[in-house]
Amino acid sequence: MLRDITIGQYYPADSIIHRLDPRVKLFFVFIYVLSLFMFGNLVSYCLATILLVVAIYYAKIPVKFLIRGFKPIFVLLIFTTFMKLFITDGTVWFKLWKFTITKEGVIDVIHILVRILYLIIASSLLTYTTTPTRLTDALEQVFKPLNKLKVPVHELTMMMSIALRFIPILVEETDKIMKAQSSRCMNFSSGNILKRIKNLVPILIPLFVAALRRADDLALAMESRCYQGGEGRTKMRILKYKRQDFFVYILLAIYFVFSLIIHLLL
């Protein structure tokens, strides 16, 4: 079950999308998500779908792998859907005992589902096709101007990349600890809620201890290699736009303007 968590993971492949400049991908996802929430009409959703399908196709990410990333949030999705479906007031379509389903409710649910699903697919496409290092490089580049406002951009992006890097490590650690405790006959799934929360203690404490230990080790390793933050630090890979990057920018601009026009017309 824990191995299903694919958030923030990188999927190694050799594709056009993988080779794109990370800044392009970052902007793309940003504008894309923005467009999802700005324009809520059928035509723009269709456009967004086409764009997403094309991106998935060119990224060479297996659909099986994409779907697997949804499993952890599936319950959340179902929950929000039902809440929205039964709570929204409006023209009644359907009545079952105390629950009423309204026209507005159904429309709202469709909006929410499309937006959340596409948001997740788009952002996971970004992390699947971009290594954490490249993503951090891009973020650092993009937010560099904030340095003038005394925002520690490098430090923040470094934190982000470490956090991303640690997701799979901590997942694995949790898996190991859970196995160790269940071999001591620990029962995870019995008793009332209070008992179940208490059951988490034998897992959470070793997990925190492990996280602290790893953080300490990493800090030492970084210091012993003379890491001292962003000041005067040079880059091994310098980000440089290529032709395909401009092409994607143009595509993005066309998509956005087109959606905007349709939105204003409708």
Residue 12 CB, shortest distance to other proteins, in Å, is 7
Q: Which listed range, 45-53, 94-102, 129-137, 197-205, lies at the site for other proteins (CB under 8 A)?
A: 197-205
Asked if residues 79 and 17 have their Cβ atoms less than 8 Å apart, the reply is no
Report which secondary-structure segment, H or E, holds 102: strand 99-102
Residue 10 CB, shortest distance to other proteins, in Å, is 10
Q: Which of 37, 65, 82, 188 binds other proteins (CB under 8 A)?
A: 65
Q: Which listed range, 41-49, 107-115, 147-155, 202-210, lies at the site for other proteins (CB under 8 A)?
A: 202-210
Residue type, 262: I
Q: Which is nearer to other proteins, 113 or 167 (CB)?
A: 167
| CA distances (Å), origin 31, targets 4, 127, 204, 206 | 28, 16, 38, 41
Specify which residues 75 forms β-bridges with.
none
Asked if residues 239 and 141 have their Cβ atoms less than 8 Å apart, the reply is yes
Residue 216 CB, shortest distance to other proteins, in Å, is 13
The verdict on 195 binding other proteins (CB under 8 A) reads no
Considering only CA atoms, which of 121, 119, 227, 211 is closest in space to residue 167? 211
Residue type, 19: R
Q: Which of 187, 188, 215, 229 binds other proteins (CB under 8 A)?
A: 187
The footprint of other proteins (CB under 8 A) covers 6, 11-12, 62, 64-65, 68, 176-177, 179-187, 201-202, 205-206, 209-210
